[in-house]
Amino acid sequence: MTIAAGILPFKLVLVDSRPDVTAHAGLPLVLEALRVAVGTKSPYRKLARALGYDSYKAVRRHLESLVLLIASGGECLDDLNTLRGDEGLGRLLGFVPSSPTQAKDFLYRFHQAEDGRALTNDDDDQLSVAGKAQIRQEGPGLRTLSDLMAPVLKAVQEHRTTPRVTLDVDATIIEAEKERALKTYEGERGYQPQMAWWAEQEVWVLDEFRDGNVPAAMGIVGFLKRSFAKVPGHGARFLRGDSALYDEAGLTWLDEHDIGFVVSADMSESLRARVKAIPPQEWQPYRAHASETLSATEEREWAEVVDFIPGWARNVKKGTTPFRYIAIRVRPRQRDLLLPDEEQWRHFAVVTNRHQVPGEQLLRWHRQKQGTVEQGHRVMKDELAGGTLPCGRFGANAAWWRLNALVHNLLQFLKVAALPQNMTAYRPKALRFRLFHLAGRLVSHGRALLLKVSLCLPIATVLASARRALLALATPSWLGPPAPA
């Protein structure tokens, strides 16, 4: 079928024949990176048992299909048809990506009780209740999927080793007009997963999918324990968080395990009164960044809060060192003429167990989390597919969110292990435009399948060197005979 010329000077011809080209010549790198990072096929066998599949090969195909979908920019299961329609891509992968129906069935199987039983509507009515916050316990499928994150984290650490671990813990809201989605504290319906981000490595360590009405502070001690347990290796450990982590049990656990923290403090009446009583001469100018000049729009100052000890049980124990509080106050340089100057300050505070570090340095370090975990949330929801949940089943949505976290970490591994240093800052959108969505021609030569990519594309040599780097890291279990023609 030939379509008449349009605005630009060419005609479009639609042909019904097997193509010898692909529009996704760089996308197989994602699958090769996944297989290198995972190392063996045993996680897929374990996942198959958890989800009730007879064969691990079907599970591997469904999971890899969804990984490719998310990495390539797809936002819903129907977008799998685009990958399935690229027969050249299927030949490169060695399999046809799963259909939307198969992928949906795969995700539905994650909707399990803690013992693996499939959840019913009656179960959901008891587990997601408006006005009653409760954290759902994960089924075997979700727990196994979480275990699949571990080898990717380990692979990232092995290729860019850092002795320091800074976890930024923060929840994020996913708006969703699903029938069973509950209202968040901001009033919209959706979900509110709790997330732990490893700042130095720019990867997700742990995610806990939650109903929208579950506050971020709920179950925080258990979440912190699991998060630090997931970090490979040993070294200095730190944590940054907002006021949702201002919890006596959580902060006590961190302090007892030698984890340095800075957390936003709740401005209770007693703390606010103590901050307001700080003498004017003790306040010092506060620059959010060391290179920053004083703000032209607002005044920012900081000061130590001396002798403030909340009535926590830990503070009455003999030999316990009280936590340190640092206050911040902010007011506009353009004054409100109707209010006294002293009443125009807005007050904030942080709490920390790091007593030897200068106060302004700690405040700047704490503020850096806004450029790490919050940026990670944005990438998950806007540049990957985390912001578009596939259905109304809680377990399926939890699996979808976790797969997005897996893809995020996988792309980080690909960058540190196989791509040039100047590409380590690339976000998913840039990787797709410059690397994954390349045109390539498929040619059969003997028993080998060849992929030809034009050297006119500057990224072609990067693709070649990345494949060589991943091949050098691959375990024998993934190396088979040449792909069939």
Residues paired with residue 261 on neighbouring β-strands, in sequence order: 239
* Per-residue pLDDT, 17: 67
Cite the beta strand spans of 71-145 per DSSP E: none
Of the chain, the percentage scoring pLDDT greater than 90 comes to 75
From residue 358, how far is each of 167, 329, 392 by CA, in Å? 21, 17, 49
Decide: 345 and 331 in contact? Cβ < 8 Å.
yes
Rounded Cα gap, residues 307 and 196, in angstroms: 32
What type of residue is 122?
D
* Per-residue pLDDT, 485: 34
* Per-residue pLDDT, 336: 67
Per-residue pLDDT of the chain (485 residues; tens, 9 = 90+): 666 667 888 887 777 767 789 999 999 999 999 999 998 899 999 999 999 999 999 999 999 999 999 999 999 999 999 999 999 999 999 999 999 999 999 999 999 999 999 999 999 999 999 889 999 999 999 999 999 999 999 999 999 999 999 999 999 999 998 888 889 888 889 999 999 999 999 999 999 999 999 999 999 999 999 999 999 877 899 999 999 999 999 999 999 999 999 999 999 999 999 999 999 999 999 887 766 666 667 889 999 999 888 888 888 888 788 999 999 999 887 776 667 777 788 999 999 999 999 999 999 999 988 788 999 999 999 999 999 999 999 999 999 999 999 999 999 999 999 999 999 999 999 999 999 999 999 998 778 889 999 999 889 999 999 999 999 998 876 655 444 33
**Where along the chain do its domains lie?**
19-116+391-478, 148-383
Residue of 404, 409, 378, 420 lying closest to 201 (CA atoms): 409
Rounded Cα gap, residues 201 and 204, in angstroms: 9
Residue of 47, 37, 41, 34 lying closest to 142 (CA atoms): 47
In degrees and rounded to multiples of 5, residue 370 shows phi and psi of -65, -25
Tell me the pLDDT tens digit for each residue of 331-374: 887 776 667 777 788 999 999 999 999 999 999 999 988 788 99
pTM assigned to the model = 0.93
Transcribe 412-465 into DSSP letters.
HHHHHHHS-GGGTT--HHHHIIIIIS--EEEEEETTEEEEE--TTSTTHHHHHH
* Per-residue pLDDT, 206: 97
Rounded Cα gap, residues 29 and 33, in angstroms: 6
Q: What is the CATH number of domain 148-383?
A: 3.90.350.10
